[in-house]
């Protein structure tokens, strides 16, 4: 009997480009093409062949002396990556079976930009207490992920063992099972501590690999918690968790496990998630109160924008991984090519940019079809709101970008007018990534993420090569590496002090109107490693939450306690700047605090609020604390009435702990006046019955075991609608479940 698990709560990798088929039918690479350094006498090419010629062509290559097949593809298309002498490869590509061929290309090393951007290279001129340069030497970092390719030349010197919680042995190598290979943990480890062709943030830190996510990059909370538990037992200094789920709650087990790790003296760093830009999108373990939750920003990049004649707004583009970079400087023309099917394209499109809708067929097929018709470039427009990032299965020598659904619809309206297109380039940095998850955390109303770090186009190590990826998965290891440098410089600092040093010295990000982004979007801002190491005064916690107020309640006063910590060898004077006056809020702040060298002092900050003078919803701003010529921005947040967070999150159905039982889990951030799991026929959508239903459900994790004999079900597959209602708001999750054989 097989039960289909609805792994909504399964911890997944927080990288924007996922390597699985998605609901739109596009197949992303299960293993992206890896850059390979070719020998002088050899080249490596990617060849796509006719399906009916696949076997004969493969035999021909194998029988040809000097040619080697490295990869074989039979899903999205039929083809090979082949290495050999240039002359033989050229002859091979002229074969009538070949539909397409291109050189295997290398990727630009963006980590060389993100490391110095956050001050990682400036730190090399600083020394620890033993007069050694700051490189992370002696600091143990646990990478809880898909494993690590410890044979990679850039990581082999840093690897110090680990454990595999998937196979139950001491070999935490990345999954190599064909079709389910993983690369994520190696990429994360490289950002932290690569020490070869690439240099990570802390190139001499020790990497301890815990493989908690298996084939395809999937794993469950119990495996991750087991890895956290072992990391505590192994006395690591720092944990990096570049993974997460959809549960925005502080009391989810993985979040609580990270809290315990911090309490044991370990610095815990985790991704905030890739579900932005909406509010409430941060997920566990990024909701951990004591861990450092990290959002994604951009390192210095030269970003192309489309300028359409007659349209004032510039159109933002995301480059497709595996495609040729967008580097146009002249005017161009744009035409519409439907979904990029062969019958929708023709020779009249030669030399033009082709706008293609997302969906129907894979990105690779769309681009190959357009390239065959002589397209100059391909622009893929989203079929749901917002932009997206994607990848091609094979490298193709044609520029390919993605744009938002809104931008695509605007271009389509102007297609008949034959608009002229030009490219405007902007040098950008410190832009918050759209995909970066936003807070706050439900029920505690805590600000998350705590900080942001580069997470766009970050090149790092992967098995047998290098690859650029986007995601908060890439941002978190920047912070983990930074923590290693801080730990080496200040071995006696606690996790709270290390976290405060990063939050207090971060650079706040701004939008295009030069307005500071909200705290729930960026925390305190983008990290500055050197400034964090040289911080003289630490203030923690680095952000404040004053909880929830009801407009029906009278005037209420709440007090928060801050620790002001002088880490310098001289006296320090700290002053608190009163916030601008707002209706309904009165502050009581310490005006001036004087600290002797090495002295700490606890101070109280009180907020007196009259709720009925405030609008319902989230309220957030900044307190400013001045230390000499420096200013520390301390974000604060509170909510009025019941905000519009999702009423139900993350649903999981598995076998129960007893024979012939099932167990479901769901998370209700604020409880529910009514909740249920309604079952429908997947074909007719006829209501069948309830798997469960109840009123006045408590807040937090809901778990229940259901006996098979109590279920009045006769079919195998059902469409389940999980719903919860509270304060006039109802939210739903829709999944397919299988209950009986």
Catalytic residues: 145, 184, 473
Please, which residues have CB within 8 angstroms of residue 670's CB and are 6 or more apart in sequence?
442, 443, 642, 645, 647, 699, 726
Query: Distance between CA 562 and CA 560 in Å, rounded?
Result: 7
Q: Give DSSP secondary structure letters for 146-173.
A: S---TTSTTTTTTEEEEEETTTTBS--P
Query: Distance between CA 268 and CA 387 in Å, rounded?
Result: 31
CB-based contact 656:528 (threshold 8 Å): no
Q: How far is CA 45 from CA 134, 280, 558, 582, in A?
A: 42, 45, 66, 64
CB-based contact 703:657 (threshold 8 Å): no
- Outline where DSSP puts E strands in 337-476: 353-357, 377-381, 391-403, 420-428, 451-454, 458-462, 465-469
| Residue 146, Cβ density class (10 Å: 0-12 exposed, 13-18 middle, ≥19 buried) | buried
Q: Give DSSP secondary structure letters for 243-262.
A: EE-S---TTSHHHHHHHHHH
Checking phi first, is residue 696 left (phi over 0); if not, alpha (psi -120 to 50) or beta? left
**Count of C-beta atoms within a 10 Å radius of residue 610:** 16
> Cis link prior to 541 (omega < 30° from 0)?
yes
CB-based contact 472:294 (threshold 8 Å): yes
Compute the C-alpha angle 312/314/316, nearest 5°: 160
674 has which bridge partners? 695, 725
Query: Distance between CA 560 and CA 541 in Å, rounded?
Result: 10
**In this structure, what are the phi and psi dihedrals at residue 455, rounded to the nearest 5 degrees?**
-145, 20
């Amino acid at each position: 009997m097989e039960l289909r698990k609805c792994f909504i709560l399964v911890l997944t990798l927080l990288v924007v480009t996922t390597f699985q088929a998605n609901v739109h039918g596009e197949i992303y690479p299960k293993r992206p093409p890896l850059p390979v350094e070719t020998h002088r006498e050899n080249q490596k090419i990617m060849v796509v062949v006719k399906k009916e010629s696949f076997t004969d062509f493969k035999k021909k290559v194998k029988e040809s002396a000097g040619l080697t097949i490295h990869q074989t593809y039979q899903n999205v298309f039929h083809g090979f990556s082949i290495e050999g002498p240039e002359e033989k490869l050229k002859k091979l590509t002229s074969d009538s079976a070949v539909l397409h061929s291109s050189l295997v290309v290398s990727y630009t090393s963006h980590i060389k930009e993100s490391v110095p951007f956050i001050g990682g290279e400036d730190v090399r001129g600083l020394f620890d207490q033993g007069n050694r340069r700051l490189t992370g030497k002696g600091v143990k970092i646990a990478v809880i992920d898909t494993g690590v390719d410890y044979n990679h030349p850039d990581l082999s010197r840093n690897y110090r063992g680990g454990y595999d919680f998937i196979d139950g042995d001491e070999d935490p190598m990345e999954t190599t099972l064909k079709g389910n290979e993983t690369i994520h943990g190696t990429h994360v480890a490289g950002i932290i501590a690569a020490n070869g062709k690439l240099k990570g943030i802390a190139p001499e830190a020790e990497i301890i690999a815990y493989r908690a996510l298996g084939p395809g990059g999937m794993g469950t909370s119990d495996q991750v918690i087991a890895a956290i538990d072992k990391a505590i037992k192994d006395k690591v200094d720092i944990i990096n968790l570049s993974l997460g789920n959809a549960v925005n709650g502080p009391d989810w087990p993985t979040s609580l496990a990270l809290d315990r790790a911090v309490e044991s003296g370990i610095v815990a760093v985790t991704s905030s998630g890739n579900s932005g830009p909406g509010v409430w999108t941060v997920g566990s373990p990024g909701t951990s109160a004591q861990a450092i939750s990290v959002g994604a920003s951009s390192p210095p990049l030269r970003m192309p924008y489309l300028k359409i004649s007659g349209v004032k707004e510039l159109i933002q583009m995301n480059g497709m991984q595996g495609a040729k970079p967008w580097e146009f400087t002249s005017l161009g023309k744009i035409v519409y090519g439907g979904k990029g099917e062969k019958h929708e394209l023709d020779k009249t499109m030669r030399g033009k940019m082709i706008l293609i809708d997302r969906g129907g067929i894979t990105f690779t097929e769309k681009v190959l079809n357009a390239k065959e018709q002589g397209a100059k470039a391909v622009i893929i427009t989203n079929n749901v709101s917002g932009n997206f990032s994607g990848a091609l299965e094979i490298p193709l020598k044609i520029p390919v970008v993605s744009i938002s659904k809104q931008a695509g619809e605007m271009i389509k309206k102007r297609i008949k007018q034959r608009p002229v297109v030009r490219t405007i380039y902007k040098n950008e940095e410190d832009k918050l990534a759209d995909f970066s998850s936003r807070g706050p955390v439900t029920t505690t109303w805590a600000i998350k993420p705590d900080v942001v770090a580069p997470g766009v186009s970050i090149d790092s190590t992967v098995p047998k090569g290098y690859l650029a990826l986007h995601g908060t998965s890439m941002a978190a290891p920047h912070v983990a590496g930074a923590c290693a440098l801080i730990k080496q410089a200040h071995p006696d600092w606690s996790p709270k002090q290390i976290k405060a040093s990063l939050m207090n010295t971060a650079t706040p990000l701004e939008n295009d109107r030069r307005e500071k982004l909200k705290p729930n979007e960026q925390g305190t801002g983008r990290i500055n490693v050197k400034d964090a190491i040289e911080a003289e005064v630490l203030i923690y916690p680095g952000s404040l939450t004053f909880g929830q107020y009801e407009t029906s309640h009278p005037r209420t006063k709440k007090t928060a306690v801050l620790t002001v910590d002088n880490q310098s060898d001289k006296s320090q004077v700290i002053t608190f700047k009163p916030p601008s006056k707002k209706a309904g809020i009165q502050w009581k702040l310490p005006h001036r605090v004087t600290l002797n060298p090495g002295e700490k002092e606890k101070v109280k900050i009180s907020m007196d609020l009259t709720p009925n003078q405030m609008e319902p919803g989230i309220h957030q701003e900044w307190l400013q604390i001045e230390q000499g010529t420096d200013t520390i921005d301390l974000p604060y947040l509170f909510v009025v009435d019941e905000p519009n967070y999702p009423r139900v999150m993350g649903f999981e159905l598995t076998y129960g702990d007893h024979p012939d039982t099932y167990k479901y889990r769901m998370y209700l951030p604020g409880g529910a006046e009514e909740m249920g799991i309604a079952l429908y026929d997947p074909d007719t959508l006829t209501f069948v019955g309830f798997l469960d239903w109840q009123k006045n459900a408590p807040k937090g994790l809901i778990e229940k075991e259901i006996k098979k004999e109590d279920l009045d079900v006769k079919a195998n597959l059902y469409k389940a609608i999980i719903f919860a209602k509270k304060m006039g708001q109802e939210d739903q999750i829709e999944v397919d479940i299988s209950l009986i054989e």
